[in-house]
Amino acid sequence: MASFLSRLRLGLWLIALPLLLGVLCYLCWRPTTLFEIWLAGHWPTLGAALADLRHQLALPWLPLLSPSLADFCWAFALAATLVLLGQHRPWLALLVAASAELAQRPGWLPGTFDWLDLAALLLAVLLAHPLSLYLMELSHEPMENPGIPVR
């Protein structure tokens, strides 16, 4: 039971918190998205509430960081999730994250390809993987999961 609670706590810090920050970046500081236009067309009250939220949370310096910060956050959460699920392969998280960004270049996925986003994805995986492994080792009881590499 202690192991489950420690993993739940790690999940909140390493997965839920970055995803929440990424959602805030998308909703509050990025340019208007197709989803928001659709939302305002179908539910004008929600569209107006989102516009009001954007106005209230506007910080003058954050829009410079937010496009890449959102990508950093979801890639960090992806890499941490894979570690917490026992997949100790950072190249897998990097492959998924980089593929999503690179698929925007020829237009296979909606969005705008950006080298800075690609760098943010790489940095996120390179930070999240060892940090997640380290925190897992701190909360690890040797006999509970022999799949965790021990140093």
Q: What is the structure's pLDDT at 38?
A: 84
* Number of folded domains that form the chain: 1
Residue 97 falls inside a structural domain: yes
Q: What is the structure's pLDDT at 145?
A: 55
Q: How far is CA 12 from CA 16, 62, 89, 117, in A?
A: 5, 24, 21, 24
CB-facing half-sphere around the CA of 59: CA atoms within 13 A:
10
pLDDT digit string, tens, across residues 54-66: 777 766 666 566 6
Residue 56 falls inside a structural domain: no
Residue 55 falls inside a structural domain: no
What is the pTM assigned to this prediction?
0.77
Q: How far is CA 19 from CA 10, 23, 25, 106, in A?
A: 14, 6, 10, 27
Domain limits at 13? 2-29+61-138
pLDDT at 143 over 60: no
Q: What are phi and psi of 22, to 5 degrees?
A: -65, -40
Q: Report how far residue 128's alpha carbon sits from residue 71's, in angstroms, rounded to the nearest whole number.
A: 13
Q: For residue 81, which of 24, 149, 28, 12 has the smallest C-alpha distance?
A: 12
Q: What is the structure's pLDDT at 104?
A: 92
